[in-house]
Every structure is written in structure tokens, then in C-alpha cells.
Amino acid sequence: MDKELLHKKIKKDIEDLINNHPPERTLGNLIPLSIFQAVRIGVLTAGCGIEAIIYNIGKDIGREVISRYVDRDNLLESFAEILKKAKIGILEVKKVEENEMILILKDCISCHNVPNVGTTLCHFEAGLIAGTLEKKLRRKVNAVETKCCGKGDEYCEFLVKIEDKLYW
Ligand SMILES: [Zn+2]
């Protein structure tokens, strides 16, 4: 599978959203969120390290696509802006320190309004945060979801650990 082609497609869709261009698909790009969420939850029940795979997909897209729209000097504000335009969720900042952040995501595509299934669901979004921030900060970043609608919370919360400088 050619990831680069998929990334190009995501980039085009995001730019269409930014520029208010109509989607190419006759029926539009909107689907009921619950259908997408059912697929996400269904995939997670397969086990076998699926969480890590989904996290890495998010991390790739964060690094290769989303980070293009994020301004290093206005990091969290511009990141929040693009997550909102891409309709992924509403990002809020709870804590920012040199080596650690706590970020909140409301209206998250993966878990908004899901029933309490007893587990966090937003590994894609955690990866997206890690990949985007890693690329912009040039430091190793790990994000773990600590609150999620999937376990009965009102919104997602991510603990973001920012580690050593990466030299690329
Ligand atoms: Zn969540």
C-alpha cells in the first residue's frame, strides 16, 4: 500500500475543507459518526496490538500531513485550528511545561457520544498529537490518552511527554 498516495489524498481533502471547496464525492464526505466509530471500536476488539498500529497511523499522518499546517511559533493554537478545520476535534490546552503537556480534545471523531465501553478509544488522535508535535518540536514525543468518552469521561485528555531532541 502506498502511504504517500493516501497522505496526498488527506492533504487534498484538508485543503478542500480549509478553502471551502465542495467534496468530489456526489454524496459528500459526511458519514454518520457512529458508523465510523463502530468500525474503529470493532477493529480494536480484534486485539493483537491493534492500538499500537492505529497510534502509528495517526503518528504518520500527524508527521507527514497535519504538521504542514502547524506554525512552529504558534504551535498549539495553529494545531487546534487545523484539527478543528479537519473536523477531528476541538483541542484545548490544560497544561504546558518544557517536558510535558496535558491536552484536551472535545467533540473527538473517535469517541464523541460513544457509550461507555470501558476503555480509551482514541489511539489515532494520540498518535496524531505525537507525530505533529514531534515534527514541529524536533523532539521525541509520546502521547497517551488518559480520559475518553469510551470509558465514561466527558472528553478526551492526553498526557504528552516531550523527550530528547531528535537530530534529523
Ligand atoms: Zn477519546
Q: Measured in angstroms, how far is the CA atom of residue 36 from the centroid of ligand 1? A: 14
Q: Is residue 96 part of a domain?
A: yes
**Per-residue pLDDT tens over the stretch 60-104:** 999 999 999 999 999 999 999 999 999 999 999 999 999 999 999
pLDDT at residue 57, as a whole number: 96
CA of 9 to the centre of ligand 1 (A): 25
pLDDT digits (tens, 9 = 90+) for 92-143: 999 999 999 999 999 999 999 999 999 999 999 999 999 999 999 999 999 9
CA of 147 to the centre of ligand 1 (A): 7
Supply the CATH number for residue 38's domain.
Answer: 3.30.1380.20
pLDDT of residue 166: 74
How far, in Å, are 75, 96, 150 from residue 121 at the CA level?
25, 24, 6
Selection from 114, 115, 132, 116 nearest residue 124 by Cα: 132
The pLDDT of 28-34, averaged and rounded, is 88
Instruction: List the alpha helices (DSSP H) in the chain.
Output: 3-18, 33-44, 50-64, 75-85, 123-137
Is residue 24 in some structural domain? no
Share of residues in the chain with pLDDT > 90 (%): 80
Q: Is the pTM of this model over 0.85?
A: yes
CA of 133 to the centre of ligand 1 (A): 19
Percentage of the chain modeled with pLDDT above 70: 99
In a domain, 25, yes or no: no
Establish if 27 belongs to a structural domain.
no
Check pLDDT > 80 for residue 1. no
**Within-domain flag for 113:** yes
145: three-class secondary structure by DSSP: strand
Residue 140 lies in a domain: yes
Count up the domains in the chain and report the number. 1
Residue 104 lies in a domain: yes
Tell me the residue range of the domain where 58 lies.
3-18+34-165
> What order do you get walking across the sheet with 156-165 strand by strand?
90-96, 100-106, 156-165, 139-147
**CB atoms closer than 10 angstroms to residue 67:** 19
